[in-house]
């Protein structure tokens, strides 16, 4: 048996949306189980996200420190954002996030990995990119507001981020998955063997 995730959709007899928020909503589906019984499944409906491990010439990753109210923590994270512009290509979305959050652009882009963040309770899919050949963007910086107004920016060596993730000192899922995927790619076939930035993404299909 191939160790590979496969699409499958069990029959849904009814659907309700008890809550609709600004960017996400909650959904309740009545789902038919293999034994024929029907159960309710509640989950968050999410537009999807993109994130980027931006790696500079000194082998440092660009990270941001931001307050996250649900967990009552300031977390170190990699630049990321929602796929909330209809029809936008994921690469364009992540390039915009890198510009807005860090005022940086990159010449070399690859797909690092694709994940479902919490598939037991949310349909969010995240594509994590690798960006190299970084440079500062000219012109005015994006005007930050709300939590982002207090955001800190740093460049941290890859080895330090890997150590912090394994030590339980860093908890943001995109950062942890991203830096560990980076380390794994280096230990395997190398970064140049990663998928191209426009590789298909069945979880969030887009036009090339």
Q: Among all residues, which ones are annotated catalytic?
A: 148
Q: How far apart are CA 124 and CA 51, in angstroms?
A: 13
Quote the distance between the C-alpha of residue 181 and its chain's center. Answer: 13
Residue 203 exposed, middle or buried by CB count within 10 Å (0-12, 13-18, 19+):
middle
Of 67, 91, 88, the residue nearest 77 (C-alpha): 67
Pairwise CA distance, residues 80 & 170, whole Å? 16
Give per-residue burial for 3-33: e unless 16+ CB within 10 Å, then b.
eeeeeeeeeeeeeeeeeeeeebebbebebee
């Amino acid at each position: 048996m191939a160790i590979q995730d496969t699409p499958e959709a069990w029959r849904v007899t009814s659907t309700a949306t008890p809550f609709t928020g600004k960017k996400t909503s909650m959904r309740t589906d009545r789902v038919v189980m293999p034994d024929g019984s029907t159960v309710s499944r509640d989950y968050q409906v999410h537009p999807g996200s993109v994130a980027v491990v931006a790696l500079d010439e000194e082998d440092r990753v660009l990270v941001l420190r931001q307050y996250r109210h649900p967990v009552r923590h300031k977390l170190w994270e990699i630049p990321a954002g929602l796929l909330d512009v209809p029809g936008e290509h994921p690469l364009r979305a992540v390039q915009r996030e890198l510009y807005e959050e860090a005022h940086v652009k990159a010449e070399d882009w690859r797909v690092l990995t694709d994940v479902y963040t919490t598939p037991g309770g949310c349909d969010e899919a995240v594509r994590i990119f690798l960006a190299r050949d970084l440079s500062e963007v000219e012109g005015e910086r994006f005007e930050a507001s709300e939590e982002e107004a207090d955001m800190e920016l740093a460049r941290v060596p890859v080895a330090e981020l890997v150590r912090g993730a394994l030590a339980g000192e860093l908890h943001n899922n995109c950062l942890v998955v991203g830096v560990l995927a980076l380390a794994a790619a280096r230990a395997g076939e190398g970064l140049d063997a990663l998928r191209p930035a426009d590789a298909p993404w069945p979880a969030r299909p887009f036009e090339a």
